[in-house]
Amino acid sequence: MINRFFSHTELKTDNGSTRLDQDNIPSHIAIIMDGNGRWAKNKGLPRVAGHREGMKVVTNIVEKANEIGVRYLTLYAFSTENWKRPEKEVEFLMKLPERFLEKELPNLQKNNVKVRTIGDTSLLPRNTVRAVEKAVEETADNTGLVLNFALNYGGRHELVEMVKVLGEDIAEGTVNPEDITENLLSERLLTQGLPDPDLLIRTSGEIRLSNFMLWQLAYSEFWFTEVLWPDFKDEDLVEAVKEYQQRKRRYGGV
Ligand code: FPP
CA 198 – ligand 1 centroid, Å: 22
- Residue 54 in contact with ligand 1 by CB distance below 6 A: yes
Q: Does residue 55 line the site of ligand 1, with CB under 6 A?
A: yes
pLDDT tens digit string along 81-94?
999 999 999 999 99
> For atom 7 of ligand 1, which residue has the closest CA?
77
From CA 220, how far away is CA 108, in angstroms rounded?
Answer: 27
Catalytic site includes residue 82: yes
Q: What pLDDT sits at residue 40?
A: 98
Count of helices and strands (H, E) across the chain: 7, 6
> Which residue minimizes the CA distance to atom 5 of ligand 1?
78
Query: What is the Cα–Cα distance from 193 to 186, expressed in whole angstroms?
Result: 9
Does the pLDDT of residue 3 top 50, yes or no? no
Going by their DSSP bridges, the two strands 146-153 and 114-118 should be labelled as parallel
d(CA 174, CA 143): 34
The pick from 32, 38, 51, 56 for probing ligand 1's pocket by mutation, whose C-beta has the most ligand atoms within 8 angstroms, reads 51
Asked if residue 2 has pLDDT above 60, the reply is no
pTM: 0.93
| Domain 28-154+196-245 sits in CATH 3.40.1180.10 | yes
Give the active site residue among 15, 21, 23, 34: 34
pLDDT of res. 251? 87
Cβ–Cβ < 8 Å for 213, 197: yes
In this prediction, residue 254 has a pLDDT band, given cuts at 50, 70 and 90, of: confident
The stretch 22-45 carries a mean pLDDT of 98
pLDDT value for 249: 84
Higher pLDDT, 98 or 16: 98
Which residue's alpha carbon is nearest to atom 16 within ligand 1?
55
CA 213/CA 220 separation, integer angstroms: 10
145 Cα: distance to centroid of ligand 1 (angstroms)? 22
Nearest CA to ligand 1 atom 24: 37
| Percent of the chain residues past pLDDT 90, beyond the cut | 89
pLDDT tens for each residue of 117-176: 999 998 999 999 999 999 999 999 999 999 999 999 999 999 999 999 999 999 999 999
Q: What is the pLDDT of residue 17?
A: 62
In this prediction, residue 15 has a pLDDT band, given cuts at 50, 70 and 90, of low
42 annotated active-site: no
| C-alpha span between 242 and 97 (Å, rounded) | 30
| pLDDT per position as a tens digit, 200-231 | 999 999 999 999 999 999 999 999 999 999 99
Centre of ligand 1 from the C-alpha of residue 51, in Å: 5
In the chain, where are the structural domains located? 28-154+196-245
Mean pLDDT of 56-81: 97
Is residue 48 within 6 Å of ligand 1 at its C-beta? Answer: no
User: What are the b/e assignments for 224-250, b being 16+ CB within 10 Å?
Assistant: bbebbbbbbeeebbbebbbbbbbbeee
